[in-house]
Chains A and B, each alone.
Chain A
Amino acid sequence: MRGMTPIVKTITALLIGFIMLFGFYVILTGHLSPGGGFAGGVICAAGLLLVVLAFGADTVKERMGHNMAVLWEGLGAIGFLAVALLGFITGTFFAHFVPHNLGVRLFTGGSMPYLNLAIGLKVGAGLFGAFLMLAAFREAERGGRDKGEGDRS
């Protein structure tokens, strides 16, 4: 789809950093404060959805295409399984392999922050990839339907 007006593009370019920062904050402090991997992942995906809506699917596909979204989603899934299998170092599947005691520091939650990161990566990249394919599909459909303006090859 074509992008939106320059006002929307400028505001999106200014805001996208804050949105992704907030999303990563919610993912990382998921074991201390309300949030977690799922909420943070969907927040990151919503920020990337704003970029796709404001700049058009074609512009976004040049920078970060469909293959990269699939790659990051796969890395998130493999990361989750790797953290689970690393629990075998100290016992069973999914056991904590770093020390954990009650506190408010970032790395005293055992294997929970790493699991949160993997889940956030997976959910965010997966939803962004699905929306990117949807936007590109709709543009291809609209471009093929009105054959009057023959911009496509």
Chain B
Amino acid sequence: MSETLTLLYGVIAFMLIAAIVAVETRDLLSSVLCLGALGFGLALVDLIVGAPDLALTQVVVEIFAVVLLIRTVVAREDTTKEFIRDTPHVAAMGAVIMAILLGAYLCFQQLTPFGDPPMIMGASYMRAAQQAGATNLVTAVLLDFRAYDTLGEATVIFAAIMGCYALLRTRGKKEQS
């Protein structure tokens, strides 16, 4: 078990370094590629923790998001100056980070320890797993025990894609020119 933990910490350290580089670097293309590295690190974490569907979905979703971002960043001029740092801004940011750390410290005292999940609903779903009729228990939870949440998720994706269509309509503009 300790080698699983060592591998997990190594991949999380890689993800932290990729996130810091993605946020801080000046060149937009480099930061988008580091975001891709962050997503692949998360897919590795999913494999180590024992969630193969998540790793599969995360890899393909990460590729899609990186292609989308690269297409917006490449060949668009960008004249942003980043070195404007005024004191109230930095003080406010420091206060928010302190608040989050304090909240996390208070919450982590009551959090379940890592490696010992409470499995409140998981136990009752697993007891009924044989009547679900599926060998993949994650899909059984997603489509049999909790199908309403999947219906809500389909609705959210529908709304987001309709928002994309509504924002990209150029039919009216073409007739004006």
Contact = CB atoms under 8 A, between A and B. Distances in A.
Question: In the complex, are there CB atoms of A and B closer than 8 Å?
Answer: yes
Contact of B148 (A94, A102, A115, A144): A94
Interface in A30-49: 30-39, 42-43, 45-46, 49
Contacts of B143: 31, 36-37, 112, 115-116
B71 interface: yes
Contact of B134 (A112, A122, A127): A112
A99 to B, nearest CB: 8
B80 interface: no
A123 B133 contact: no
Interface string B130-144: 111111101110111
Nearest to B67: A49
Interface stretch (B4-12, B30-38, B49-57, B86-94): B49-57
A42 B133 contact: no
A31 B136 contact: yes
Contacts of B136: 30-36
A53 B66 CA distance: 14
A133 B168 contact: yes
Interface in A107-148: 108-110, 112, 115-116, 119, 122-123, 126-127, 129-131, 133-135, 137-138, 140, 144
Decide if the interface of chain B is mainly helix, strand, loop or mixed.
helix
A84 interface: yes
B165 interface: yes
A31 B134 contact: yes
A42 B71 CA distance: 18
B151 A138 contact: no
B150 to A, nearest CB: 7
A137 B72 CA distance: 11
Interface in A45-86: 45-46, 49, 53, 70, 73, 77, 80-81, 84
Interface in B119-177: 130-136, 138-140, 142-144, 147-148, 150-151, 154, 157-158, 161, 164-165, 168, 170, 174, 177
B147 A127 contact: no
Given A102-B130, A133-B168, A73 B161 contact: yes
A84 B151 contact: yes
B97 interface: no
Contacts of A103: 133
A33 B140 CA distance: 11
16 contacts: A31-B134, A32-B134, A33-B135, A34-B52, A38-B57, A81-B151, A84-B147, A101-B133, A102-B130, A115-B143, A115-B150, A122-B157, A123-B157, A133-B164, A133-B165, A134-B71
Interface of A: 26, 30-39, 42-43, 45-46, 49, 53, 70, 73, 77, 80-81, 84, 94, 96, 100-104, 108-110, 112, 115-116, 119, 122-123, 126-127, 129-131, 133-135, 137-138, 140, 144
Given A46-B64, A122-B154, A134-B68, 5 more contacts: A34-B56, A39-B57, A102-B133, A119-B150, A126-B158
